[in-house]
Amino acid sequence: MTEVDAWQATLEQEHAAVYGYGLVGGKLGPDSVPARTGLELHRARRDRCVQELIALSQTPVASEPAYRPVTRIGNADDAKALAASIEQNCSAQYIELAAQADIETREFGTQWLRISAVQQTQWSNIIPALPGLQL
């Protein structure tokens, strides 16, 4: 995967994460600090992806009008499971950034992977053995 492809794919994942965290926050309520924090982190990452792609003279991929959550969100436990899934999916994409030759891109990938693994653990109460790897 090229650096541009990695940034574009990460941007696509961040668009989905922002949408998903909106659903999580909608179910957990406006006072849910973890949901609000997740939303803010993924918005900032989305914006960073856009900046990096523009710096690479690329047109950033646009977000979809809506995304299908991996599970029905009927209650707070469903919302927490969705948030954990969002972090798992993002972690898998951050591995692609961490694998790039550009040191700054690798640093973003590894930092985001670390933070995402912690968030996944907070949402699911399960520590991922190999964050970012889909086993």
More confident residue, 29 or 7: 7
Query: What is the structure's pLDDT at 12?
Result: 98
pLDDT for position 72? 84
For residue 31, the SS3 value is coil
Helices (H), the chain: 3-28, 33-55, 76-98, 103-124
Residue 134: is its pLDDT beyond 70? no
Could you read off the pLDDT of 54-101 as tens digits, one per residue? 999 999 999 999 999 877 899 999 999 999 999 999 999 999 999 999
Q: At the fourth CATH level, which superfamily is domain 3-123?
A: Ferritin, core subunit, four-helix bundle (1.20.1260.10)
Report d(CA 128, CA 2) in Å as an integer: 27
d(C-alpha 76, C-alpha 9), whole Å? 29
Q: pLDDT for 9-32, tens place per residue? A: 999 999 999 999 999 999 999 889
Return the pLDDT at 8.
Answer: 98
Whole-angstrom distance, CA of residue 124 vs CA of residue 71: 14
CA distances from 2 to 7, 95, 98, 100, 122 (A): 9, 13, 12, 8, 32
